[in-house]
Amino acid sequence: MNEALAFNTIDLRIREQDSRTWVEVVGPEGEWVEAETQMPKDSQFETIDEGIWNWPEGRIDSLCDSLGRALMPPDVQRLYAAVLDRTLSQGNQVLRLKVHFLGAARGYQRYPWEGARVNGQYPALTPRVSFTRTTDLPRPAIPFAVDKLPYRILVATVVPSNLGLDPMAGPEVQSAEATLRSLVSAGLLQLEVCPNLTLSRLEELLHEKDYHIFYFTGFANVDKLGNGTIVLVDEKNAMREVDARRFASIFLGTRVRIAFLSTGFGVLGRGSGVGLADALLEVGLPIVVGHSGVVTNVGAQVFAGGFFDELVRTNSIDFAVSAGRRAMTEPGSDKPRGEWLNPVLLMRSQEGKFFGGEAAYTIETFIRGGSLVSEAKARGEFDAAAFVGKIDATRQSISTIRSVSDQFKAKDLIDDAELEIRTSNWTIATQKLAEASSHIYLVIKNEERDLVDQRHDRQARWTVLGISVFLLTAVAALAFALRDIWTPDMTIPVIALPVAVVVWSFVGGVAAMLQAFVGTKLPDPKPISYEWLLWRPVVGVILGSVVYLVIAGGLFVLGQVDVTTAQNRNTYVLWALAFLGGFSDKFAILVFDTVVRTVAQADDKAPSGVSDLKNESHQSKGNLDSSATLASADNTAKR
């Protein structure tokens, strides 16, 4: 499965302005290009709803070239070529083309853009290139990956009775069932086929269980306004058309991640109409897979088989759709010509992996090794040599774990697997080995995450330390440069605040930064808030200055001595208090609260006027007996 793949995304936004059409492109590293383009003529699509396979080869080629020129004018082609070369040069990277249709340009979304040919090549068929569409919506999509077994697929096959067809006979359903049979047999996946569902019964099913893929095979249509409709049945098994938004509303609150619509029409709207895909994305579904035009039974079967086979093998929606398209292009007399242009992938999730967490690893383990065990059991034997080889490989991977306790746990699970082999209990032996492999995998991932967190922690500490040293150095340099001008009694005009108080308050704010990031262990490393680093010294200056004014003004008394009188005035004490105010907002708030209580007591004793605040503050000294009590307050800076 694609554990280490990285996606480079090119966003192509098609919009209309002043009767002109533009393509705006944003590359994965911020590259930007905007170019005017010319859309293909509507006459080229007059019979597209009748099926592309009826077209001659030359007409299909002409259509693909015109789509390529419209999607990628020369400037856009150059950006695409550069990003593609850069991506393909890295073995673990994939290029994702994401096409947006904005405003009035939504009318162009019905065209089969997946068939665009650029510089003689088809991006939608190029290996390690994913061609997707998206819709920009305010409602966020639900999280995509599913991490709990079993995975559930609800298959709805709808064929109204008046058509005289068997609703269970869909060839694409049979192809999907054959591909998924091994996972279903192992209990890792549940596939439920429900023929001819009414809208109410479908809604009940979606809310009864956590289905993760909704697979629909049947008919859809487009109404006179260009809106998509889907064909279900009523209680009498007669055809009932349901408009796109009403149909999508039944998915609200469900766990469906992928809607796979095997229909010929209706997935995409016409003009400004809302298609089935648009409506499903609007209610929060992250992925819709469907067809932009008429699809034949053979084409649907081939695409579904290639899609699910690749989804299980690589755990990638992007790769699954690409594999389905390529399967439709393989030689074969029964495969309709040019029908590979129809499949569309509409995607709002940035994450393309369907299976997630420990469950994903369980499925991967089964796919890689479980089939060997299953085949041996079917023959009445067990490939012990291959199983022992897997045990040895798993035991070797224990050395990559740093935690001794986790090493012992993995070793015990492997030992249990070997013990079960000796008793010929192959099923439990396989289960124990899978548990050991899953345990090792998760421990390694957690340890890698811890290393990343530790690296972020060190980066944050060194960054804050560097900023703090720079600020303190700047203050020291300024003080040295102005040593002949500054005096301890120099004040700032208008507000009559000593310059030394401002400086010491600023130093207190910087010290709070150091204490928050360097002096304590961060319980949960987080990215640095540079906004907080900017404002913390400023807040320190304000709090420290106000604390100085409160004490210098006689509103607060320290101990038995009034430091504000001429004979007892100690500027160093006041500067220290200014530093404490800048360092600890809790200290400053404690001072302010004490002053408020003192003033309130004064008001209670002298309702006709406020008595001497200095005397009243002496009477309230029991609230805060000494500066040591203040200093013991928690001075941890708020982040």
What's the predicted TM-score (pTM) here?
0.58
Pair (209, 327) in one structural domain: yes
- Supply φ then ψ for residue 501, to 5 degrees: -65, -45
Give the N- to C-terminal CA distance of the chain in Å, as an integer: 41
CATH number for position 338:
3.40.50.1460
Give a yes or no: residue 282 inside a domain: yes
What is the DSSP-derived secondary structure letter of residue 237?
S
- Mean pLDDT across the stretch 134-155? 77
User: Which ranges of 25-141 would DSSP assign to H, the alpha helix?
Assistant: 57-71, 74-88
> Do residues 471 and 510 make contact, with C-beta atoms less than 8 angstroms apart?
yes
* % of the chain beyond a pLDDT of 70: 73
470 within a domain of the structure (yes/no): no
Residue range of the domain that includes 433:
359-448
Question: Are the CB atoms for 132 and 288 separated by under 8 Å?
Answer: no
455 lies in some domain: no
Residue 316 lies in a domain: yes
- pLDDT tens-digit profile of 46-91? 666 666 666 777 788 888 999 999 999 999 999 999 999 998 888 7
Contact of 170 with 219, CB cutoff 8 Å: no
437/505 same-domain check: no
Residue 460 within any structural domain of the chain: no
- Shared domain for 175 and 297, answered yes or no, is yes
Residue 233, strand partner residues: 239
**Closest by alpha carbon to 311, among 242, 258, 385, 256?**
258
Return the SS3 of 219: coil
Are 592 and 550 contacting, i.e. CB atoms less than 8 angstroms apart? yes
> How far is Cα 348 from Cα 280, in angstroms, rounded to an integer?
11
Whether residues 349 and 269 share a domain: the answer is yes
Domain identity same for 282 and 379: no
Answer whether residue 469 is part of any domain.
no
Structural domain contains residue 465: no
Q: Do 376 and 349 belong together in one domain?
A: no
What integer pLDDT is reported at residue 136 of this predicted model?
Answer: 80
| In-domain check, residue 636 | no
Question: Model confidence at 201, in pLDDT bands (50, 70, 90)?
Answer: very high
* Domain shared by 187 and 297, yes or no: yes
pLDDT, one tens digit per residue, over 261-275 is 988 778 888 888 899
Q: How many domains does the chain have?
A: 4
Q: Residue range 406-434: average pLDDT?
A: 72
Alpha-helical segments (H) within 100-239: 171-185, 199-208
HEC string of 512-535? HHHHHHCCCCCCCCCCCCHHHHHH
What rounded mean pLDDT belongs to the chain?
Answer: 76
Tokens 């400037």 belong to which residue? 75
